[in-house]
Structure 1
Amino acid sequence: MEDEILAIFDEHYNCIGSSPRKEVHKSGYWHETFHCWLVGREKQKNYLYFQLRSKTKKDFPDLLDITAAGHLLHNENISDGIREIKEELGISVCFDDLHGLGVFPYSIRHEDIIDREYANVFLYEHCFTHKDFLLQGEEVSGLYKIELESFAELISGCKTEILAEEFVSASADRVPSNIKSASLKHFVPHDPAYYEMVIGEVRKKWLQD
């Protein structure tokens, strides 16, 4: 994985070449990623779905993160990013059914990594049951749903803890069984502005529908 070749960009989103993933993160080159948020609506409430990263992950283990996300390789188009959904969650979706939110540039510094991303962000309104998912256990240990407005209050600081309900488990029977109390420390520390953008777009989506 560290030897994957990624396209690299300048601060104006101009491609300036390519480099191995390890070097990209070491040197802090801008690169492209694919983010897809599964969203749902139940009893007039909107939900975001978060993957729980495996405890064996090198970066941010056992934290709640974007439903499905990954790096785009140097020879891939944005639409190729849907492979991440299939690989991580085990469900097949059509790129044309995704709702694009645009490109969000942001960066995270973590230990010896400088992660500067041009994130191509999408929403997908799902209608699956937990039996439809087959999580990639070495990457994802569970899928949790969180009520959108509760998450918004957590990000804004109005709440310090919210409930996260397991929707599917990576265990053999995939039966959800856990409800956890989640604070900010339980989430990958993406830029709050990124989370706020996603929250705003989900709200807008259901106002328009």
Structure 2
Amino acid sequence: MSEQEMIMTVDRAGNLLGPRPRSEVHANGLWHETFHCFVYDPKRDVVLLQQRSEQKKDFPGMLDITAAGHLLANETVEDGVRELEEEIGLTCTFDQLIPLGIQEEEFRDASLWDCERCHVFLARSDQAIDAYVLQETEVKRLIAFSIEQFERIADMSIERIQDTTGEWFDRRQFVPHPSSYWRHVRQGIEQLRK
């Protein structure tokens, strides 16, 4: 996404305030809306996370949501489903997603002040991990985590997390979402598993 693409800014209640360039949104900590979707494989009982491309401006090479993105000024939350096809080649309709509600996130460092209203969803897919078609400028690879290991991501006292192939990941390799965010997603997955 270009730094000059227009993003609709909102207040914390989600009321529209007007479009602003992405660069301005992230420089000034303006609230905006994003689409987040985690892919859950019920057949293997795993959650897929993406490793972000090394080309990404923010958090390159780090582990994050399966597919996510900013909603542009002319888009609705429903339009966010495009992220699944663009980033990982998964085609589904918005009504096939399981809504997990809105999570607020605020992150600030020397180069970024990100204030997001995250519309969070689950998608079900049991296709093989190597069958996904990745957008290389966005996604380096997909990584599967068991439900037990995914749950450990929310526990900030745990320093290392293991994927289903046995590869270990240090906590610092994950995009810094708050513990409450990870727990919220885990609870949504648990409801789906019942």
TM-score by length of 1: 0.86
Q: For residues 20 and 154 of structure 1, do their structure 2 counterparts lie closer, same or farther at Cα, with a shift above 3 Å needed?
A: closer
The answer on 1:192 being equivalent to 2:176 is no
Let me know the Cα RMSD of the aligned residues: 1.6
CA contact (8 A) 2:154 2:180 kept: no
Gaps of 5+ in 2: none
Paired amino acid for 1:160: E
Q: How is 1:109-188 mapped onto 2 (pairs within 5 angstroms)?
A: 109-157=108-156, 159-165=158-164, 179-188=166-175
SS of 1:156's equivalent in the other structure is coil
Shift of 1:190: 0.8
Partner of 1:107: 106
Paired amino acid for 1:204: Q
SS of 2:99's equivalent in the other structure is strand
Gaps of 5+ in 1: 166-177
Paired amino acid for 1:162: I
CA contact (8 A) 1:33 1:72 kept: yes
Partner of 1:174: none
The share of aligned pairs that are identical, in percent, is 36
Paired amino acid for 1:120: H
CA contact (8 A) 2:36 2:120 kept: yes
Q: Deviations over 1:3-58 (max 9, x none)?
A: 11111112232211110111000110000100010011346xx3211000111211
Paired amino acid for 2:185: V
Q: For residues 154 and 130 of structure 1, do their structure 2 counterparts lie closer, same or farther at Cα, with a shift above 3 Å needed?
A: closer
Partner of 2:72: 73
Separation in 2 of the partners of 1:204 and 1:136? 30
SS of 1:144's equivalent in the other structure is strand
SS of 1:118's equivalent in the other structure is strand
CA contact (8 A) 2:29 2:113 kept: yes
Shift of 1:74: 1.1
CA contact (8 A) 2:50 2:141 kept: yes
Deviation above 4 Å: which 4+ runs of structure 1? none
CA contact (8 A) 1:53 1:139 kept: yes
> Which segment is superposed worse, 142-151 or 27-36?
142-151
Q: For residues 42 and 162 of structure 1, do their structure 2 counterparts lie closer, same or farther at Cα, with a shift above 3 Å needed?
A: farther
The answer on 1:60 being equivalent to 2:47 is no
Paired amino acid for 1:190: H
Separation in 1 of the partners of 2:56 and 2:15? 31
Separation in 2 of the partners of 1:92 and 1:82? 9
Q: For residues 157 and 78 of structure 1, do their structure 2 counterparts lie closer, same or farther at Cα, with a shift above 3 Å needed?
A: closer
Separation in 1 of the partners of 2:90 and 2:42? 19
CA contact (8 A) 1:155 1:184 kept: no
CA contact (8 A) 1:91 1:132 kept: no
Shift of 1:179: 4.5
TM-score by length of 2: 0.93
Q: Deviations over 1:62-112 (max 9, x none)?
A: 111000000001111111111111111122111111001111111111332
Q: Deviations over 1:130-188 (max 9, x none)?
A: 353110112111000011222213422464322124xxxxxxxxxxxx75201211100
CA contact (8 A) 1:50 1:144 kept: yes
